[in-house]
Chains A and B, each alone.
Chain A
């Protein structure tokens, strides 16, 4: 027996339902896309209190502009594009605050509790790195990258989005996306190698 849930309905069907006044169908759209939006919001917005407002704002904008959606891309890509631009506006407004708080390389961001922590200065290169330790270090290093690099790295390597989709979401040319990803990967590799010898990895 085939069990087809609402989560498997196509973008077209869901949008038609929302446009007919079925707001519950928009809830399904949110459920389908909130993971992608969370990736963008968490990577671009370091202030945990503001994420709630931004996430709501993204979906309210998506709802009100839904009649203008032309199916030139997937609905998730379009919503991710709204999320990226909303975060960009937030960064623009909060620029002085951000410059004052997150430019210090001694701090890293812990997504679990939404707080900044002072990075350890211990020389860890002599020790064999455990799997868990390496994941933690990598998370810290990703959080220290410029926000556009963080977003691109996560969307490409974690969400498996293509260069073209990333280009559409960020509004950057595909060549720029490729070059930013190259630099971000190189920076991460160098950061890891500066902390640990190759043999330790």
Chain B
């Protein structure tokens, strides 16, 4: 039997499904009173969570919603069509010139000053990085909101 106690996550894993634990951890937990007590507490916790009453809406949700759908038909909204059109339009406006001028693309940049190319690449990188940071900030805000208690 190992002298150090398994970590809390290994104890949880044992309580959830001991087949995911190493033999060493299983031997330790089964012969250690402290770890066994922790496992028992977790098992009790899981049993009691299962026994928690299922919340039920106090109104007939099905009737309530279906009554609002009597004259409605599910169909793709205008937004879907607009988005689809924009995707096709953008793909065509990039793809068609690329296909037509495929042999001349490399020569296109010959006469462009390097400073101009670097400034385009630089500003694009700044915009992309700013967008990524904004997305990350939004994600963090959402997580903070969920932890409001």
Contacts and interface: CB of A to CB of B under 8 A. Distances in A.
Interface of A: 18-19, 21, 23-24, 26-27, 30-31, 34-35, 38-39, 41-42, 51-52, 55-56, 59-60, 63-68, 88, 91-92, 95, 98-99, 102-103, 111-112, 134-135, 138-139, 142, 144-148, 153-154, 157-158, 182, 185-186, 188-189, 192-193, 198, 201
Interface in B64-114: 64-66, 68-70, 72-77, 80
Interface of B: 8-9, 12, 37-38, 40-42, 44-46, 48-57, 59, 61-66, 68-70, 72-77, 80, 142-143, 145-149
| Dominant SS among interface residues on chain B | helix
- Residue among A30, A98, A142 facing the most chain B CB atoms (10 A cut-off): A30
Contacts of B70: 23
Given A139-B52, A154-B49, A68 B76 contact: yes
5 contacts: A27-B62, A30-B62, A38-B55, A112-B53, A185-B42
A175 B52 CA distance: 26
Contacts of A66: 74
Q: Which of B40, B57, B142 has the most CB of A within 10 A?
A: B57
B66 A144 contact: no
A103 B69 contact: no
Contacts of A23: 66, 69-70, 72
